[in-house]
Structure 1
Amino acid sequence: MSKNLVGKVALVTGGSRGIGRGIALRLAKEGALVAVHYGSRFAAAEEVVNQIKTDGGEAFAIGAPLNTLDGVEQLLQSFDQELLQRTDSKQFDILVNNAGIGTAETFEETTEEMFDQLFAVNVKAPFFLVQKSLTRLRDGGRIVNISSGVTRIAYPHIMAYNLTKGAINTFTLNLAQLLGPRNITANAVLPGIVDTDVNAAWLHTPEGQQHASEMSALGRIGEPEDIADIVSFLASNDARWITGQMIDATGGAHL
């Protein structure tokens, strides 16, 4: 496989597990130096870094909570320090806003505290991470935001979460217009049900498997690699003429 991202530096938030892990591994396989961000799972992030190194790639882990602005600034300070040691520069090329949280509460059960927490991690953190990265992100760079298929398909029982992903889509559209003069593209990827540890409890049952598979026009459950491959494409020069787009990655769910 050709390596399309040699010489590039990527930051993947929430890169220690699930979709983020898949994205970090794929970008590294393409030749990028990958910063694997984690919130609290240091061991999981180190495992991803070690796997990347075993596969011949380059990566490092950086930890910071993303529920406050202080956490965003902590992440960037750590990122700067690591980059200066490795590249003698604070500049980077690819930002993947993947970190996020969900909720088990229904619309009726959602509290103000949960609502605020969802927006803090899923919307506020990406907003300020991009804002504070503008001087660090090279012209010609890439921003990929991980949204969700719930912005196309109604799931009212998790409405607060859905609203955060709708905000991410709007954020993506505006970033594409704002950063176009710098040749920086901004796109969102909208996964459906993906086989990750977050979904394992209900998905790894006969009923869950059948339900999730039947939702997709392709008749199967999504894998992290399905999403990672799309992100890798958007991060590459092959996607240089694509910006401001919401890429449906649900396997044709609920068509």
Structure 2
Amino acid sequence: MHVITGGGTGIGRALALSLARDGHDVLIAGRRAAPLEAVAQEGATAGGGTITAVACDLSTPQGVRALAERAGTKVDSLVHCAGGNPAIGRPASATLEEEAALLEETLAGNLVSAALTVTALQGAMGEGSAIVLLGSIAAEHGVGYYGPAKAAVASYAVGLSAALGPRGIRVTCLSPGYISGTEFFAGTMTEERAEALRSQTAFGRTGEPEDAVDVLRFLLSERSRHLTGQNIHLDGGAFTTR
């Protein structure tokens, strides 16, 4: 069983369909039932695999327990795509209480959800299993609270790789740049902003969900058997490590 959080849209959706087409059984999770069910129905005609959907809040223990119950006792991989930037489209905080709520929501949706999901599922994983946590280029560029939250996810992946390595479980972080065809910007992306982001890449184009899927399929496969504890930047060169 391959578990994908945030599987109703964007990268998670594309990965779920790719795995199902190749005959794998996939469990997708997220807060909204409608897009999850739509992906599950699409997966029914994609190939030999199945896609099962479970709607739950992964930032809460009860939500993660619901996911773990559906996942069962053998999980081959976990790809944590759930998360986002709740500040997008939201007016500036007028009070300290509003600012605190924004910070807590950002951390809950990104870091807390990743940690709880891993904690709930790692017991069902064993030798050869893989965990991939989605980070973001925002961790390097500094974007409100979202950047620090994703930086924490990347740091968490490093420590997790050391903890789970003796069990033969690989852990990596995949940090995309701007990926088109997702709901991340919630309709706020202008053509001017998109062009500015494209111009930051070496190729002059935005990423597509399929670009991430190709990397993820490698990270989930036996071909990545000696790769763990790394933060892989998928942004067309918009951010380079030296």
- Same fold, TM exceeding 0.5? yes
Q: For residue 38 of structure 1, what is the aligned residue in structure 2?
A: 30
Give the drift of 1:11: 0.3
Q: Indicate the SS of the match to 2:138.
A: helix
- For structure 1, which runs of at least 5 residues remain unmatched after alignment? 1-8, 81-89
* Structure 1 Cα separation of the partners of residues 176 and 65 of structure 2: 28
- 1:1-255 alignment, distance < 5 Å: 9-40=1-32, 42-56=33-47, 57-80=49-72, 90-102=73-85, 103-104=87-88, 111-152=99-140, 154-155=141-142, 158-195=143-180, 196-199=182-185, 201-203=187-189, 205-254=190-239
State whether residues 94 and 142 of structure 1, in contact with CA within 8 Å, keep that contact through their aligned partners in structure 2: yes
State whether residues 17 and 46 of structure 2, in contact with CA within 8 Å, keep that contact through their aligned partners in structure 1: no
State whether residues 16 and 37 of structure 1, in contact with CA within 8 Å, keep that contact through their aligned partners in structure 2: yes
Q: Indicate the SS of the match to 1:11.
A: strand
1:94 alignment partner AA: S
Q: For residue 5 of structure 1, what is the aligned residue in structure 2?
A: none
2:51 alignment partner AA: A
TM-score, structure 2 length as denominator? 0.89
CA RMSD of aligned residues (A): 2.0
Q: Deviations over 1:12-46 (max 9, x none)?
A: 00100112111212222343211011212x22112
Identify if the C-alpha distance between structure 1 residues 45 and 108 changes in structure 2 by more than 3 Å, giving closer, same or farther: closer
Q: Deviations over 1:74-115 (max 9, x none)?
A: 2212333xxxxxxxxx21110011100212269987710111
TM-score, structure 1 length as denominator? 0.85
Identify if the C-alpha distance between structure 1 residues 200 and 216 changes in structure 2 by more than 3 Å, giving closer, same or farther: farther
* Structure 2 Cα separation of the partners of residues 108 and 38 of structure 1: 27
Q: Indicate the SS of the match to 1:37.
A: strand
State whether residues 12 and 81 of structure 2, in contact with CA within 8 Å, keep that contact through their aligned partners in structure 1: yes
State whether residues 118 and 164 of structure 1, in contact with CA within 8 Å, keep that contact through their aligned partners in structure 2: yes
Percent identity of equivalent pairs: 31
Aligned structure 1 segments of 4 or more residues deviating by more than 6 angstroms: 106-110
* Structure 1 Cα separation of the partners of residues 120 and 92 of structure 2: 33
Identify if the C-alpha distance between structure 1 residues 106 and 30 changes in structure 2 by more than 3 Å, giving closer, same or farther: farther
* Structure 2 Cα separation of the partners of residues 254 and 134 of structure 1: 31
